[in-house]
Amino acid sequence: MDKLHVNLGEDSYDICFSADFSGLAAELKAIDAPKKLLVVTDSNVEKLYASEVNELLIENGYDSAVYAFKAGEENKSMDSILGICGACIEHGLDRKSMMIALGGGVVGDMAGFAAAIYMRGVRFVQVPTTLLSQSDSSVGGKTGIDFMESKNILGAFHQPKLVYINVSTLKTLPEEQFVSGMGEVIKHGIIRDEKFYAFLKENVDAVKSLDTDILIKMAKTNCSIKANVVEQDEKENGLRAILNFGHTIGHAVESAFNFKMTHGACVGLGMVAVSKIALDRGMIDEGILKDIESVLCAYNFDIRAELPPAESIYGFMHKDKKKTNGRLKFVLPVRIGEVMQTSDVTDEEIFSAIKYISK
């Protein structure tokens, strides 16, 4: 089994890459997982994988139960967190027990947050089933929920004890969710790894056809990029903020659409928008902007959209948790594989960028 180690001292963990769930029990044993487990999932993933995973755990001697909340970003709320905590109590989880987050980014964020606050913190494992969660949210320890129209505004840093990625789950993903996940994958190439970006350009057909070997190679390289950044800046005090490339505008678009547009699709639009700002500043040439747009289009992104009013998007940007001293942080490309952070983007530049990505 392919593995990647995330070195965070006492909070270090492995990321495992597989084509099925068969190795999960052995990996849990390797981290000395307790017998009492709660598999947290949503109503969509419950139908696909919850029984398979839970039965596998029970067969290997674990006292495991499943709790599923209603799927959807709109349910990424405190009420759902309390539901998870209630299920923990009903199943008898104590401070030595463990949660298993089985699902996409919403599941991972919420199970991780619940694990961070239940009995002041219990261990949890990420078993991501979507490309978005496998490529981004399951790695790094960020957990959280949406509140008062702001995305992930409540949360905690709580590192998993293990991440187990079964790339075969991508075969049950709706196309729009696969596209959404590719937004984060492409982002990692742009901000940190020119060779990986080239790999994505050269293997469009293989990736889109869900070739298992290519998916595992893509997942491992992608996770290594994020893990390297997290190892250097776990709590986002500096370098880790580059992972927000495309997110300042992307999150605002997502909120303005009331989360009816996928996260990755919004990040894709955000990446185009900030690349346009970089072009207008003379930081990159038009060829780089067009290349980024071309790669996104190759993976079926819309690089223009019928957006809500620009003023609405701008308003949501100023609710962003990444704002410091009243100023928004932006991550702008310098070249493929390198970005820089700035807080001096003007309102004029913001509105011009929003106009650029608008149909």
C-beta neighbour count of 20 within 10 angstroms: 11
**Distance, CA of 108 to CA of 84 (rounded, Å):** 12
Domain 2-172 classification at class level: alpha beta
Using pLDDT thresholds of 50, 70 and 90, give the confidence band for residue 269: very high
Average pLDDT over every residue of 225-252: 92
Give which of 165, 262, 180, 171 is closest to 219, Cα–Cα.
165
CA distance 2 to 15: 8
Torsions phi, psi of 335, nearest 5?
-165, 175
pLDDT at 236 over 90: no
Domain boundaries, the chain: 2-172, 175-205+234-356
- Mean pLDDT, rounded, of the chain: 95
Measure the N-to-C terminal CA separation of the chain; round to a whole number of Å. 45
71-120 pLDDT per residue, tens: 988 899 999 999 999 999 999 999 999 999 999 999 999 999 999 999 99
Residue 343, pLDDT score: 93
Q: Does 56 have pLDDT greater than 80?
A: yes
Per-residue tokens: 357: 């990505």
Cα separation values, 118 from 36, 86, 99, 158, Å: 15, 10, 10, 12
Output the pLDDT for position 88.
98
Does residue 240 register a pLDDT over 70?
yes
Q: Would you say residue 284 has pLDDT above 70?
A: yes
In which band, very low, low, confident or very high, does the pLDDT at 352 lie, cut at 50, 70 and 90? Answer: very high
- For position 322, what pLDDT does the model report? 66
Here the tokens at position 78 are 């405190």
Residues 314-324 as b/e (b if ≥16 CB within 10 A, e otherwise) read bebbeebebee
Query: Residue 164: which H helix or E strand, with range?
Result: strand 162-166
Mean pLDDT throughout 204-219?
A: 97
Helix ranges (H only) for the chain are 24-30, 43-45, 51-59, 78-90, 105-117, 131-132, 175-192, 194-202, 204-208, 212-232, 247-256, 263-280, 286-298, 310-317, 347-356
CA dist., res. 135 & res. 130, Å (int)? 8
pTM of the predicted structure, to 2 decimals: 0.92
The residue type found at 248 is T
What is the pLDDT, as a whole number, of residue 296?
98
- What is the distance between the alpha carbons of residues 202 and 147, in angstroms, rounded to a whole number? 40
What mean pLDDT do residues 109-134 have?
Answer: 97
Label residue 152 by pLDDT band (50, 70, 90): confident
pLDDT of residue 258: 86
Instruction: Fill in the amino acid letter for 150.
Output: S
What pLDDT is stored for residue 179 in this prediction? 95
pLDDT at 301: 97
Q: What contacts 159, CB < 8 A, 6 or more positions away? A: 8, 11, 13, 140, 141, 234
State the pLDDT confidence band at 1, using cuts at 50, 70 and 90.
confident
Q: Give the CATH class of 175-205+234-356.
A: mainly alpha
Please report the pLDDT score of residue 321 as a whole number. Answer: 64
Q: What is the pLDDT of residue 225?
A: 96
Strands 98-103 and 36-42: parallel
pLDDT of 289-346, one tens digit each?
A: 999 999 999 999 999 999 999 999 999 998 876 676 778 999 999 999 999 999 999 9
Which 3 state secondary structure label does DSSP give 100? strand
- pLDDT tens digits, 241-267: 999 999 999 999 998 998 889 999 999
pLDDT at position 235 is 82
For tokens 């990424």, the residue is 76
Identify the DSSP state of 322.
T
Q: What is the pLDDT of residue 339?
A: 97
Q: What is the pLDDT of residue 148?
A: 86
